[in-house]
């Protein structure tokens, strides 16, 4: 039997995996469950893993797979799901420009559906770099990674400021195009209409705080009118 907090966390992870194809970060879990520290999330994750509801995938940051759901969430004792976050091995790319709609999906009897997304450029996971403004090439993305609504595009990460969120230099991030985000979301932010960066966003006292996931980088705060949200992180692909 799960406690209420364990059930709430499992439901939150399941909901995010279904919507975005990527599990939430520990910070997002902490905010969703209104906990004061990540240590409480670690305990809940461990309890869910010990009870056989989830599995943490070794050597993959922020990778959680749901193995089964309780009946209250639509599962059964022997049910299992396949919404775990599993990065695909794809070549990283360079790029940059206005987002283009994905092309038609490609399927065969033996391969899953994929979509061609534009790689829009390199995004800074560090200090901001020049704004993205030109598409360089397309990249094939598993359709299951994409949320059902909105246009998507891909970016190549440069820098290490988001490593504690499992985002490394050279990774390809999949972004859903949107101009809104909740506190704690990882977003593409256009700063002062000329620099783009990948950061976690928070609203504080009428300003926008762009927060890194690496203690070596300071949080940068700007007036609201100097930050435009260009999209929200929904997936990640890593080359090995």
The CA radius of gyration of the chain, in Å to the nearest whole number, is: 18
Q: Which one from 25, 30, 96, 199 is the annotated catalytic residue?
A: 199
Distance CA 97, CA 199 (A): 19
Q: Known catalytic residue: 199? A: yes
Beta-bridge partner residues of 208: 203, 222
Distance CA 41, CA 128 (A): 31
200, 207, 213, 204: which is closest to 227 by C-alpha? 207
**CATH 1.10.10.10 domain span(s) along the chain:** 4-73
Strands 114-124 and 152-158: parallel
One digit per residue, the tens of pLDDT, for the chain of length 240 reads 678 888 899 999 988 888 877 788 888 888 999 888 778 888 888 888 878 888 876 555 567 888 888 877 766 534 433 333 333 323 333 333 333 333 333 333 444 577 777 777 778 776 655 556 566 677 777 777 676 667 888 888 888 889 888 888 888 888 888 888 989 999 999 888 778 899 999 998 889 999 998 888 889 999 999 999 988 898 888 776
CB 123 within 8 A of CB 157: yes
In the CATH scheme, what architecture does the domain 114-237 have? Ribbon (2.10)
Distance CA 203, CA 119 (A): 29
CATH topology of domain 4-73: Arc Repressor Mutant, subunit A (1.10.10)
Q: Known catalytic residue: 161? A: yes
Q: Residue 128's pLDDT is what? A: 59
Distance CA 2, CA 92 (A): 41
In the block, which residue shows the tokens 């009946």? 71
What are the structure tokens assigned to 5, written together? 């907090």
6, 20, 3: which is closest to 54 by C-alpha? 6
**CATH 2.10.109.10 domain span(s) along the chain:** 114-237
Q: Which one from 4, 25, 161, 239 is the annotated catalytic residue?
A: 161
CB 157 within 8 A of CB 125: yes
């Amino acid at each position: 039997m799960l406690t209420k907090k364990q059930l709430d966390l499992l439901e939150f992870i399941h909901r995010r995996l279904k919507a975005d194809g990527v599990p939430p970060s520990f910070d997002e879990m902490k905010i969703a469950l209104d906990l004061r520290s990540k240590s409480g999330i670690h305990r809940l994750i461990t309890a869910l893993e010990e009870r056989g509801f989830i599995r943490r995938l070794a050597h993959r940051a922020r990778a959680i797979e749901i193995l089964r759901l309780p009946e209250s969430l639509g599962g059964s004792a022997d049910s299992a799901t396949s919404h775990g976050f599993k990065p695909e091995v794809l070549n990283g790319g360079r790029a940059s420009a206005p987002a283009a709609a994905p092309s038609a999906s490609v399927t065969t009897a033996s391969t899953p559906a994929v979509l061609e997304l534009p790689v829009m450029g390199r995004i800074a996971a560090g200090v901001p770099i020049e704004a993205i403004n030109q598409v360089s090439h397309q990249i094939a993305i598993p359709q299951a990674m994409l949320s059902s609504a909105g246009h998507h595009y891909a970016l190549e990460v440069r820098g290490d400021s988001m490593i504690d969120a499992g985002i490394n230099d050279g990774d390809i991030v999949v972004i859903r195009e949107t101009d809104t985000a909740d506190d704690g979301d990882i977003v593409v932010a256009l700063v002062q209409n000329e620099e783009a960066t990948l950061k976690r966003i928070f609203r504080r006292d009428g300003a926008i705080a762009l927060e890194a996931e690496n203690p070596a980088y300071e949080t940068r705060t700007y007036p609201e009118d100097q930050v435009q949200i260009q999209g929200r992180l929904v997936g990640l692909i890593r080359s090995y």
